[in-house]
Amino acid sequence: MSIVVTGATGHLGRLVVEQLLEKVPAAEITAVVRTPERAADLAERGVRIAVADYDAPETFDGLFAAGDKVLLVSGSEVDKSRVRQHQAVIDAAKAAGVALLAYTSAPASLKAALADDHRGTEEALRASGLPYTLLRNGWYNENYTEQLAPVLEHGAVVHAAGDGRVSSAARADYAAAAVAVLTGEGHENKAYELGGDQAWDFTEFAAELSRQTGQEIVYRPVSPAEYQGVLESAGLPETFASILAGSDVSLEKGELVVDTGDLSRLTGRPTTPIAESIAAALKG
């Protein structure tokens, strides 16, 4: 039996593997990657490396074994049919008879187009008959703290979210929830709505940035169309910029406030406040 993590060199997948290494022997972990060179450090630590690609279903043939627990980290290429990509993993997992397939989804409350592929994958997973766990991850603190340079340069946080609030948490928190499911028992056929303990808005975000930097940072709300234009001018593709602008609309509507407490219960600790992630980002 192995614990298998797909997308294992991505931002979330790597954190999951790192945290698994703290709980189980490396030989019991399989990291599924497209580029094995990026996982060389994991291989050196004894993690089994498997090469497979969501766009090449045949690469998953024989990858799983009966009794495995699998984490399907959702594909990040939103311009592709992610349901089709994920189906390849689901089919291979079913053929092998894995014990559990956990999937990183999106909050049930999210109505933006970004959630469509997640809902489609959830339907495919339920239809498969496999024991499953839905990890409906809310937004990451890092969505906002990894791109602080232009904010600090212009002294403004620009979003199309009005005074909407978001209950974000650090990627490491969501990784810890996945590890709890993969190493624990009793999570079959359950859905967890995961979000941070404290919701915040962009006025508060700007104020916290001001406090930590000593620089005056303001929140400048714009329309969704204006925000999409800002993103495109920064080099983002039109499709992705549109999705992000739509996500801000959802944020304004309150669709990204997840107050179930599932995340802190699964991990056994409070979630990481946005102020802490800001501090980490500013330290570089």
Task: Tell me the C-alpha distance between 91 and 34, whole Å.
Answer: 19
Residue 81: what pLDDT?
84
Report the chain's mean pLDDT, rounded to a whole number.
95
CB 31 within 8 A of CB 49: yes
pLDDT band at 284 (very low <50, low <70, confident <90, very high): confident
Q: Which of 184-188, 243-247, 280-284 has the highest mean pLDDT?
A: 184-188
The whole-number average pLDDT for the span 192-209 is 98
- Please report the pLDDT score of residue 78 as a whole number: 65
Q: Are 118 and 204 in contact (CB under 8 A)?
A: no
Q: What's the CATH number where 176 sits?
A: 3.40.50.720
Measure the N-to-C terminal CA separation of the chain; round to a whole number of Å. 39
Does 61 fall in a domain? yes
Residue 263 near residue 174 (C-beta atoms within 8 A): yes
Question: What confidence category does residue 114 fall into, taking pLDDT thresholds of 50, 70 and 90?
Answer: confident
Look at residue 220 and tell me if it is in a domain.
no
Residue 18 falls inside a structural domain: yes
pLDDT digits (tens, 9 = 90+) for 41-57: 999 999 999 999 999 99
Confidence of residue 266 (pLDDT cuts 50, 70, 90): very high
Confidence label for 63 from pLDDT (cuts 50, 70 and 90): very high
DSSP run (H or E) holding 280: helix 274-283
Q: Residue 155 domain-assigned? A: no
> What's the rounded mean pLDDT across residues 162-170?
98
Inside any domain, residue 57: yes
Chain centre to alpha carbon of residue 248: 17
Is 13 within the bounds of a domain?
yes
Question: How many folded domains does the chain comprise?
Answer: 1
% of the chain residues with pLDDT over 90:
91
Examine residue 86 and state whether it is found in any structural domain, yes or no. Answer: yes
- Quote the pTM value: 0.96
| Boundaries of domain holding 93 | 3-137+170-194+259-271
In the predicted structure, residue 168 carries a pLDDT above the cut 90: yes
Domain assignment of residue 214, yes or no = no
Q: What's the average model confidence in pLDDT over 97-124?
A: 94
